[in-house]
Structure formats: structure tokens, C-alpha cells
Amino acid sequence: MERISWDQYFMAQSHLLALRSTCTRLMVGATIVRDKRIIAGGYNGSVSGSVHCIDEGCYVIDGHCVRTIHAEANALLQCAKFGVATEGADIYVTHFPCLQCCKQLIQAGIRTVYYAEDYHNHPYAISLFAEANVAIKKVKLDYLLVDTNYREKQQLIEELLEKLEQNNVKTNEIERLKSEAIHLFQIKCKGE
């Protein structure tokens, strides 16, 4: 059995953290790692004990939800709260950091930012990362690596598509279903 890579492992952790997000505009998760060990995690949400976006909606000023603390900031604050050094650590984030988080990551001594999705990648943030010698690397999460039932799902979809073909379902409908299955499950159907 082949093990999941470190990048995929930590990025999966960030996606899992994002599921705790309380902001309805974008769910973001962040994992801070040093020496292949998770030292903190965060997600975007409101100040502890305060109202959450999922309860009363986002509080938007100038196009930004000001109710939430970003995932990266929450992870850094967790380190500060518990006295964990961030100098030389890496961070895995579900989305490219905003300009403010970029500056905080640089100041905290983060050396590499791994992100899964582009999100308003600000040119100044990219410039600041380069100036500070902070590497930025895109690491898309391979969802199949964290799905423990992907083989069974693939087999089921292949069987269903085969039965549809045997029952003379319209070719264009089968092709649409195949396309959707490939998109959702990232599988290869028989004959491809």
C-alpha cells in the first residue's frame, strides 16, 4: 500500500479544519507544520464567544466580512496563545492567503506557504512573499487519497454505467453520466 504524501496529508488536515468554519462566504482551513509535525490549526470564524456568520450573516464592510478572523491568523494566534514558536515553520492553507495574512505569516517567520486554491492572489502579497524569501507552492488536494472508499465507489459507478449501456439508455445520456462521474470521482470509465 502506498502512503499519502506529506503535502497531501497536511493539505487534507487543512480541508478538514475548513469544515469548522463559521463564515458562509468562504470556508478556509490552515495547518502550521514544523519538522513534519502539526503545531497548530485554524479556520475562519468569529471571535470566541461572539456571534457567528452562520447565525446572523456576514458583517461586510468594503466587500470583506469583518466578523471573522482568518484561518491563518487563528492558527498563528493559537501558537502565540500556547507559546509555540513559528519561526521556520510551514503553513498549509486551503486558499491563497489575503494580503493581511501574508504580512502576518512573514512576520511570524513562516518559510513556505502551501495552498490548494487560488483566491484573489494579490500581486503585492506575491511580491512580499518573494521579498521575504517565503516560498509559495500550490498543492491541490487529491480527494481520492483521503477517501477510504474510493475503490468501491469507482466499481459501483462502473457497474451502473455498464448496466445503463446494456439497457440501451440513450448514448448522449450515458456520456453525460460518464462525464459527471469522471468529474465527481476522478475515475476512468471502461474503454477510456
Catalytic residues, by residue number, are: 72
Residue type, 146: V
Answer yes or no: are the C-beta atoms of 150 and 142 closer than 8 Å. Answer: no
Which DSSP category does 81 fall into? H
Here the cell at position 89 is 515553520
Residue 61 bridge partners (DSSP)? 64
> Rounded to an integer, what distance in angstroms lies between the CA atom of residue 92 and that of residue 113?
6
Between β-strands 68-69 and 45-46, what pairing exists: parallel, antiparallel or unpaired? antiparallel
Residues 6+ positions from 65 with CB-CB distance below 8 Å: 23, 25, 53, 58, 59
